[in-house]
Amino acid sequence: MTERRIEAWLMDMDGVLVKEEHAIPGAAQWLELLTQRHLPFLVLTNNSMFTPRDLAARLRASGLDVPEQSIWTSALATARFLHEQRPNGSAFVIGEAGLTTAMHEAGYTMTDRNPDYVVLGETRTYSFERITTAIRLIAAGSRFIATNPDPTGPSPDGPLPATGSVAALITRATGAAPYYVGKPNPLMMRSALNTLQAHSETAVMVGDRMDTDVVAGLEAGMHTVLVLTGSTAAHDIDRFPYGPARVADSIADLIDDLDPAPDGHDKGMGR
Ligand SMILES: [Mg+2]
């Protein structure tokens, strides 16, 4: 690919490995190859709704074998960030199991009484009552955190309002803007690299969006690859003030970069 030595791979999930729950051609083979070669990798998603176990099951249903330890969500990144900022703190959480499980595992207490933070994530059942509580807690001094800034999410029937849109509602009511932990915040990349004990100089971020995946990878000091199987078309790339190190038609193109293995790497791992 380049002169750069690559030791770890971060890759976005939607638009890179799957599209509307269907595996992108080559994705299964790509993941198999990373596993066979013992190359450290994490699959990233800004969606905070699901736990890694849920996501691993969904990927498996699409024919992709990704262990739950190899999945890094904005919910996990948020819980890790809050644990580092304020260990054993308290939070009022609007979100699903992906977020509440991560917060519990990070040692947080969920409460609506004077919490350190209000943490907003993805759900399909935003409740007026809980949004009201969030607004009042923030007005009373709780710090406002949101898992990801995406204004909408995809669905077969059209766009769905996502965390960024609900955060805008709360911001309008309180005058307080959230701190977003998910992409494009490079914090999401850095916490993923820490999880792999990898270093940015020898890691790659593969994504399908310029304004999240590529910019976050760049700002974290990583090598970046844009694939054209998701939301970015080749003619869109030049409009951005930054660019990826490489553009690939799909994840399948990266298989050729890994293949053939350097001498000895595949010893005893017949393919
Ligand atoms: Mg994507």
User: What percent of the chain has pLDDT above 70?
Assistant: 94
Does residue 97 lie within any of the structural domains? yes
Q: How confident is the model at residue 267 (pLDDT cuts 50, 70, 90)?
A: very low
Last residue of a domain, one of 180, 213, 246: 180
* Three-state DSSP state, 220: coil
Strands (E), the chain: 8-12, 18-19, 22-23, 41-45, 71-73, 90-94, 109-110, 117-120, 143-146, 152-153, 160-161, 179-180, 203-207, 223-227, 246-248
Q: What is the pLDDT of residues 138-149, one digit of tens each?
A: 999 999 999 999
Does residue 60 lie within any of the structural domains? no
CATH code, domain with 158: 3.40.50.1000
Does residue 68 lie within any of the structural domains? no
Q: 14, 116, 150, 213: which is the annotated catalytic residue?
A: 14
Does residue 237 lie within any of the structural domains? yes
**Is the domain of 159 the same as that of 206?**
no
Per-residue pLDDT, averaged over 128-155, amounts to 96
Last residue of a domain, one of 126, 161, 180: 180
User: Which H or E element spans position 162?
Assistant: none
Establish whether 263 is a catalytic residue: no
Residue 190: its pLDDT value, please? 97
Does the pLDDT of residue 266 top 60, yes or no? no
Q: How many other β-carbons are positioned within 10 Å of the β-carbon of residue 19?
A: 17
Does the pLDDT of residue 98 top 80, yes or no? yes
Q: How far is the CA of 12 from the centre of ligand 1 (A)?
A: 5
**Is the domain of 160 the same as that of 198?**
no
Among the ranges given (43-47, 76-80, 255-259), the one the predictor scored with the smallest mean pLDDT:
255-259
Q: How confident is the model at residue 29 (pLDDT cuts 50, 70, 90)?
A: very high
**Is the domain of 136 the same as that of 199?**
no
Does residue 34 lie within any of the structural domains? yes
Containing domain of residue 125, as a range? 85-180
- Residue 126 contacts residue 133 (beta carbons within 8 Å): no
Q: How far is the CA of 40 from the centre of ligand 1 (A)?
A: 20
Does residue 162 lie within any of the structural domains? yes
Establish whether 12 is a catalytic residue: yes
Q: What is the pLDDT of residues 204-258, one digit of tens each?
A: 999 999 999 999 999 999 999 999 999 999 999 999 999 999 999 999 999 988 7
Does residue 239 lie within any of the structural domains? yes
**Is the domain of 213 the same as that of 254?**
yes
**Is the domain of 172 the same as that of 89?**
yes
Q: How many domains does the chain have?
A: 2
**Is the domain of 197 the same as that of 170?**
no
Last residue of a domain, one of 180, 205, 237: 180
Does the pLDDT of residue 268 top 60, yes or no? no
Does residue 164 lie within any of the structural domains? yes
Does the pLDDT of residue 264 top 50, yes or no? no
Comparing 268 with 15, which gets the higher pLDDT? 15
Q: How far is the CA of 24 from the centre of ligand 1 (A)?
A: 12
- Residue 206 contacts residue 16 (beta carbons within 8 Å): yes
Q: How many other β-carbons are positioned within 10 Å of the β-carbon of residue 271?
A: 9
